[in-house]
């Protein structure tokens, strides 16, 4: 056996990951259900490093040095279980199976448990950065046992993206499903980032009166400041692109129905189960679903909107700067919500996740990579037990400085009839957290009224109920 690692499943992500390992000097065993892909990979890229092409699962396993490290890059769901069923009987105590697909963390927990009984270490790994990242350096989020990371970590650290300070964008996230959980929340934040950017574009166009070309320029400028990030950078590219067939801006010819593969939805479903308010991420998921309801939208097109003059005079010269403030403040909120969810998941599943490390490994390689993540790392480095990102003095100061413009932008959007669910949900979250008193007290009163659901008081201990149907006396319900 000569191979340091093996990759089975050689579609684009799998092939690129295999090539990345080989380019870093590792000998890589290759396997695919149909051997044509294996042969093609060796034919086209065999000169990039040392590959061992295996034609059967037995050959593949025999090619791997012990403890064996076997990366599965097949479609998430049943195909992953099928591959595990095929390979697990061929493996021995201490071997490691790595699932690099976008699996649901509950599936990962189950698979880890089942394989643990057979002495096999299962590592559910989030990999972000798309095809390009897989080849040139992704952000890698492995879960699983300490033992598995000892064996696998050094390889992952070699092939992962490097942050500007040279740190590899990977770390042992935590046991069993922790890696896939963190990748899931990464994608939720990715949805929120994309939605906020889309709202900024929509406002600049509808209220500010800028063309896509001009907005591309505005995004390019933003990308040199605190919003510096991969998603802002590619947004500028997309907005500057012209459709060859019609000569119109590309963004005007694409059907305005956003699709999704499901990880953003999982984030929100899980957040509901954990009781974490990820309203910004949820609005981003709902905005995609709303856009896809073409019939509903067609049937609603004639509903009355604001009078035409509601828009006029709102686009002051500094409107773009104000939108930047609103975007930045909303971004702080969506990361606050995402990190809250990771903390809640870590508590619920005993993962002991280091939030500062998560921000650090998202600084390079992944879709949400951004200069901003340095600030999050710094915030958690300074105080690892930060109750919320908003409690960090620097973020608090920045959001405080942005809030007047943020409110003005949301107000302009509301007046002009431009939907900004992301901006406004973020602002509502911020104001709700700040509030001295919330109307939740009234909700409790209603619950007690119609269902005797009881309430607690702010001024003394205990559980109480008011006899709403009779004397309205308060009784001890503890
Ligand atoms: C990444 C991405 C990736 C995701 C796509 C598509 O981190 O590289 O998150 O894993 O699959 O972005 O996601 P949607 O189809 O749900 O938009």
Tens of pLDDT, residues 213-252: 999 999 999 999 999 999 999 999 999 999 999 999 999 9
Q: Is the pLDDT of residue 309 over 90?
A: no
| Residue-wise pLDDT tens digits, 423-466 | 999 999 999 999 999 999 999 999 999 999 999 999 999 999 99
37 is catalytic: no
Distance 149 CA to ligand 1 centre (A): 25
The average confidence (pLDDT) of the chain is 96
Give the range among 156-170, 239-253, 276-290, 306-320 with minimum mean pLDDT.
Answer: 306-320
What sections of 121-256 are H helices per DSSP?
A: 130-136, 146-159, 178-206, 212-222, 230-240, 250-253
Is 261 annotated in a binding site? The answer is yes
Rounded Cα distance between 394 and 244, Å, is 45
312 vs 353, more confident: 353
Rounded Cα distance between 80 and 72, Å, is 7
Choosing from 132, 187, 229 the residue with most ligand 1 atoms within 8 A of its CB, the one to mutate for a pocket test is 187
Choosing from 130, 139, 287, 338 the residue with most ligand 1 atoms within 8 A of its CB, the one to mutate for a pocket test is 130
Tell me the average pLDDT across 409-427: 96
Q: What is the pLDDT of residue 317?
A: 77
The whole-model pTM stands at 0.95
Q: How many residues does the chain have?
A: 478
Distance 366 CA to ligand 1 centre (A): 10
Q: What is the pLDDT of residue 247?
A: 98
End-to-end Cα, the chain, rounded Å = 67
Cis peptide before 206 (omega within 30 of 0): no
Rounded Cα distance between 380 and 357, Å, is 9
Rounded Cα distance between 227 and 366, Å, is 16
With a pLDDT cut of 70, the percent of the chain lying above it is: 98
Is there an atom of ligand 1 within 6 Å of 261 CB?
yes
Q: What is the pLDDT of residue 248?
A: 98
Q: Which member of 44, 48, 146, 183 is catalytic?
A: 183
Tell me the average pLDDT across 115-134: 96
Q: Is the pLDDT of residue 308 over 80?
A: no
Q: Using the atom order of ligand 1, give the atom closest to the CA of residue 190.
A: 9
| Residue-wise pLDDT tens digits, 139-157 | 999 999 999 999 999 999 9
Rounded Cα distance between 336 and 330, Å, is 10
Closest Cα to atom 17, ligand 1: which residue?
A: 260
331 is catalytic: no
Is 313 annotated in a binding site? The answer is no
Tell me the average pLDDT across 45-65: 97
Is 129 annotated in a binding site? The answer is yes
Q: What is the pLDDT of residue 1?
A: 86
Q: Is the pLDDT of residue 314 over 60?
A: no
If one counts every other C-beta atom within 10 angstroms of the C-beta of residue 474, the result is 13
ipTM above 0.90, yes or no: yes
Is 156 annotated in a binding site? The answer is no
Is there an atom of ligand 1 within 6 Å of 139 CB?
no
Tell me the average pLDDT across 352-376: 96
Q: Using the atom order of ligand 1, give the atom closest to the CA of residue 264.
A: 16
Q: Which member of 190, 199, 283, 324 is catalytic?
A: 190
If one counts every other C-beta atom within 10 angstroms of the C-beta of residue 132, the result is 11
Q: Is the pLDDT of residue 369 over 70?
A: yes
């Amino acid at each position: 056996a000569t191979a340091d690692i093996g990759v089975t499943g050689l579609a684009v992500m799998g092939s690129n990951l295999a090539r990345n390992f080989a380019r870093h000097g590792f000998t890589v065993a290759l396997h695919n259900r149909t051997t044509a892909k294996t042969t093609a990979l060796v034919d086209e890229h065999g000169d990039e490093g040392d590959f061992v092409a295996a034609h059967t699962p037995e050959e593949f396993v025999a090619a791997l040095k012990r403890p064996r490290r076997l990366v599965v890059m097949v479609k998430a769901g049943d195909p992953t279980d099928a591959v595990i069923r095929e390979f697990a009987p061929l493996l021995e105590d201490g071997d490691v199976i790595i699932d690099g697909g976008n699996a649901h963390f509950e599936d990962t927990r189950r698979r880890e448990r089942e394989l643990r009984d057979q002495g096999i270490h299962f590592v559910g790994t989030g990999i972000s950065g798309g095809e390009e990242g897989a080849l040139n350096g992704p952000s890698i989020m492995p879960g699983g046992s300490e033992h598995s990371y000892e064996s696998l970590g050094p390889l992952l650290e070699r092939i992962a993206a490097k942050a500007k300070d040279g740190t590899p964008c990977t770390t042992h996230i935590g046991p069993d499903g922790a890696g896939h959980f963190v990748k899931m929340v990464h994608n939720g934040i990715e949805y929120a980032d994309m939605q906020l950017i889309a709202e900024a574009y929509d406002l600049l166009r509808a209220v500010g009166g800028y063309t896509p070309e001009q907005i591309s320029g505005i995004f390019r400028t933003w990308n040199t400041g605190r919003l510096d990030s991969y998603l802002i950078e590619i947004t500028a590219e997309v907005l500057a692109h012209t459709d060859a067939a019609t000569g119109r801006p590309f963004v005007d010819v694409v059907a305005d129905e956003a699709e999704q593969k499901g990880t953003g939805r999982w984030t929100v479903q899980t957040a509901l189960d954990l009781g974490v308010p990820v309203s910004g991420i949820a609005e981003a998921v709902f905005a995609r679903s709303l856009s896809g309801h073409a019939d509903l939208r067609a049937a609603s097109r004639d509903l009355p909107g604001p009078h035409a003059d509601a828009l006029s005079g709102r686009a002051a010269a500094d409107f773009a700067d104000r939108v930047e403030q609103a975007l930045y403040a909303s971004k702080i909120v969506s990361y606050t919500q995402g990190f809250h969810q990771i903390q809640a998941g870590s508590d619920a599943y005993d993962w002991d996740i280091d939030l500062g490390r998560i921000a650090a490994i998202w600084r390079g390689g992944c879709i949400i990579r951004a200069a901003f993540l340095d600030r999050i790392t710094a915030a958690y480095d300074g105080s690892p037990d930060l109750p919320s990102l908003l409690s960090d003095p620097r973020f608090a100061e920045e959001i405080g400085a942005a809030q007047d413009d943020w409110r003005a932008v949301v107000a302009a959007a509301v007046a002009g009839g431009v939907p900004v669910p992301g901006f406004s949900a973020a602002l509502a979250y911020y104001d709700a957290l700040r509030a001295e008193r919330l109307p939740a007290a009234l909700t409790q009163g209603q619950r007690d009224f119609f269902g005797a659901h009881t309430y607690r008081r702010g001024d003394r201990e205990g559980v109480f109920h008011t006899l709403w149907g009779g004397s309205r006396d308060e009784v001890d319900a503890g």
